[in-house]
């Protein structure tokens, strides 16, 4: 995936310290690793899939 939605996700992940790479709008390996790290921190299954629960947690 790629685009503005991914860019928004990456910005949230970066602000919260999960994304170490750049915000480029591409859901690649770095973004997936950041999603998994966030899922582990928030006690969700670390599957790399951004569901509504994770998204709402990141928006807080």
How much is the pTM? 0.95
Other CB atoms within 10 A of residue 56 CB: 9
User: 3-43 pLDDT, tens per residue?
Assistant: 999 999 999 999 999 999 999 999 999 999 999 999 999 99
């Amino acid at each position: 995936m790629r685009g503005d939605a991914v860019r928004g996700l990456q910005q949230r992940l970066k602000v919260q310290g999960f994304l170490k790479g750049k915000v480029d709008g591409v859901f690649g390996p770095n973004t997936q690793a950041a999603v998994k790290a966030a899922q582990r921190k928030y006690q969700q299954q670390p599957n790399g899939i951004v569901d509504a629960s994770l998204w709402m947690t990141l928006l807080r």
